[in-house]
Amino acid sequence: MAKVLKPVRDNRSKEILIPAGATVEGRIIVMKHWLAAPAFHIAITLEALDVDGVSSRLYVRLDRTNEFTSERRSSAGLLQRGATIILPPIGQSTSVGSFVFRTDKSRYVVPANYESNWLTISPPVRAKH
């Protein structure tokens, strides 16, 4: 379960569409422990939004706007080349968000209050029969 930290507003009217504090439910799609990397790969999809006890379907994709670079800065401010870019698992929708947590430990707990940015998208068009 996740929480919306900032209200989601309509770009034109600035009306609040999803209030801060709303809860989001999702599913884990992939969970892998890479020994060679070493890292953990977790892929999730967010599916439902609960606002004041009313649940509705949620359509979002992970916002990677500032992450698709081949260079990154380390915590010490040093430039790192060849940062890993993770795409949705093969055969999965682009609404699946993938995360890599680098560690040489055999276990990993995602830190409390871990933040990720997601963009709302239009529902998929269903084929008519």
Q: Which residues pair with 57 in a beta bridge?
A: 48
Residue 96's pLDDT band (cuts 50, 70, 90): confident
pLDDT at 67: 55
What's the mean per-residue pLDDT of the chain? 82
Q: Which two tokens stand for residue 37?
A: 């990397």
Inform me whether the pLDDT recorded for 84 exceeds 70. no
Does position 8 have pLDDT exceeding 80, yes or no?
Answer: yes
pLDDT tens, 44-71?
999 999 999 999 999 999 887 765 444 4
State the Cα–Cα distance between residues 29 and 76, nearest whole angstrom: 33
**Can you give the pLDDT at residue 86?**
59
The beta strand positions in 35-95, using DSSP E, are 39-51, 54-57, 60-62, 71-73, 79-81
Residue 90: the pLDDT is 67
- Identify the pLDDT of residue 128: 73
